[in-house]
Amino acid sequence: MSTVELTTANFDEIVPGAEGKDFVLIDFWAAWCGPCRMFGPVFEKASERHPDLVFAKVDTEAQQELAAAFDVQSIPTLAIIREGVLVFAQPGALPEPALEDLIGQARELDMSEVHAKVAKARAEAEAASQA
């Protein structure tokens, strides 16, 4: 599978919420960014090796609102969303072996445990805001 362009218009379709079982890798990039151009082919090759995953690219120049929503401060930034939860976000161009390792680690996450931690953090935040 090749990468898809992610925009504010198609975000909900490509990145379903907590009920979705999708695994989405997002590359935040810009045409003028040298490291982004170096990481692009690495990201594309990974998308071909992992056709069961969704690989999306966000042009931060054209999709400033989406980049801001993810608090992207520098590019390239890679984000991984599983089942509606942001499980990884970090700037920097990764070499191919590091990207493969990261995909493997994200695949191994126990998402029921992740969802439980998210629910607990939300409950604590809500309780703190009411105090």
Residues with a known catalytic role: 33, 36
| Phi and psi, residue 101, nearest 5° | -65, -45
For residue 19, the SS3 value is coil
42: three-class secondary structure by DSSP: helix
C-beta of residue 88 within 8 angstroms of C-beta of residue 78 = yes
The type of residue at 95 is P
CB-based contact 42:99 (threshold 8 Å): yes
First vs last C-alpha separation in the chain:
49
